[in-house]
Amino acid sequence: MPNDKEEKKEPGSQEPGGRTPGPQASGPDTSGSQRTGSAVPGSGGPGGKEDSGFIRQRTKPKPLSKRRALFYVIVAFAAGIAFALGVFLADQLIIPYFNRPAAESADAQQENATEEEPATEEETQQPDVVVEEKDLQLSDYQALKDQLYQIGQDMDAAIVTVSGTTQGTDPFGSDYENTDQAMGLVIQNDGENLLVLTQSEALSNAQDIQITFQNGEEEKAQLVGSDGNIGLGIVSVPLNRLSDSLKDNLKVATLDTTGSVEQGDVVVAVGSPLGSIYSILDGTITSVTNDISIDDAVYSIYTTDMAGSTEGSGVLLDLEGNVIGILWMEYDTDTGSNTLAAISMREIYPLIQKLEKGEQVAYLGLNVSILDYETAQKNNMPQGVYVRQVEEDSPAMGAGLQAGDVITAIGDTDIQTVNQYMECLLSKKPDQDDTIVVQRADGSGGYAQVSLDITYGSK
């Protein structure tokens, strides 16, 4: 704000603005002139009257116009409306949202999701799964046993009895007739003949072979081929000799050559596992890692928990009714437990195929075992097939093979495993000449190669 200023006036000096102040009068004006109105204090004009000898300056505010005042009123009114609207929205929308329970919010989100993603037809039609607990009863166990026995009964239509009759004269001049019987299994129907797999013991030196079917019908059969090493044989029966009813109900067994058998599998034994034809047993595979060594072969064997008869025979079935093995009653005779065991069908099937063709099997007379790479390296031995035993009066003994020899070649075929040894022998024929190469211990910790000439026999 401007401050009051004090100035010292000289006589005859002019006031600001070009005016010269007049003489002060303490009484009435005698100038003879008459003035109207009152003098403005501090104006310094003619006839004016000063209150003091100082000049006082003042700033007067600019008066507020009506237009500006109306503008301020409108702005204030609009601000008030905006504030009131904000309070209303906060009270009605924002505060209730934060105070709403979490469960209500989740339900609302679920409802929104349901509205956005309608259920498909499959989902709406899916019934609820209800698990009902039920205690097993004896009747349930019996029902399972009935199903297992049904598998065996279905296979009975493929099971026959093979009878081999031998006739002769004893040392006292009396005629005799001897009949051996064995269980048989129909394994092929080529449209002209039935092929039946059976035990070769019933066929040995038999002059007459007869087949008895499940319905009691009998028919003569002819020997196709046999192998004395494993004790199996194949006989054939002409189809045109069988009745129509028998042919309609006859079953041909399915041989499973995949070898997909595992420990714990449930199996069924059919044929004559108890020594009588059409007997049936069920049980479980207890092991698949064992093997048996017979003349010129080593086969994997399946052991079970089923007790059978040493006089029995038959085959082992899986739950689909497929033949997975041939019962081998001589496996556990030393322990006297008589638990059933079966030779793997997958491994014995190549021999069966050879017999089906009527071909004879070459015989050496060696009991061999596997000598793998690790065992050979550990014992400083050559890798090949280890000879455990040589049968008396066998072609192998005649050729000079000895227990402890390691076979490394037969003819032009290198032999490293028992499977190679078995495959090689199946390709040979009786009376065929050949050469066998072995590694034989030389007495000084090493081995020397020996070549032996041999002629295969038959059994």
Low-confidence ranges of the chain (pLDDT < 50): 1-57, 59, 102-103, 108
The DSSP call for residue 15 is B
For 22, phi then psi, to 5°, come to -85, 170
For 396, phi then psi, to 5°, come to -65, -40
pLDDT reported for residue 332: 65
Q: Where are the beta strands (DSSP E) in 153-231?
A: 159-169, 175-189, 193-199, 208-212, 218-227
pLDDT reported for residue 27: 42
296 by DSSP, 3-state: which? coil
Residue 234's beta-bridge partner residues?
A: 197, 225
CA angle 440, 442, 447 (to 5 degrees): 50
d(CA 237, CA 248): 16
Cβ(210)–Cβ(177) below 8 Å: no
Task: Residue 395: name the closest of 361, 359, 362 by CA.
Answer: 362
d(CA 335, CA 322): 30
What is the helix (H) or strand (E) element at residue 366, kind and residue range?
A: strand 366-371
Cβ(362)–Cβ(456) below 8 Å: yes
What is the DSSP code string of 243-256?
-HHHHHH---PPB-
What does pTM read for this prediction?
A: 0.68
d(CA 363, CA 454): 11
Residue 421's beta-bridge partner residues?
A: none
CA atoms within 13 A on the CB side of 56: 10
Cβ(251)–Cβ(154) below 8 Å: yes
pLDDT reported for residue 396: 97
d(CA 40, CA 25): 16
Cβ(229)–Cβ(297) below 8 Å: yes
Neighbouring residues of 268: CB distance < 8 A, sequence distance ≥ 6: 148, 149, 151, 152, 280, 281, 282, 316, 317, 319
Cβ(347)–Cβ(300) below 8 Å: yes
d(CA 406, CA 370): 10
pLDDT reported for residue 15: 41
pLDDT reported for residue 91: 63
Cβ(395)–Cβ(363) below 8 Å: yes
Q: Measuring CA to CA, how many Å separate 458 from each of 166, 205, 235, 410?
A: 21, 14, 18, 18
pLDDT reported for residue 172: 87
d(CA 379, CA 370): 14
Neighbouring residues of 409: CB distance < 8 A, sequence distance ≥ 6: 415, 436, 437
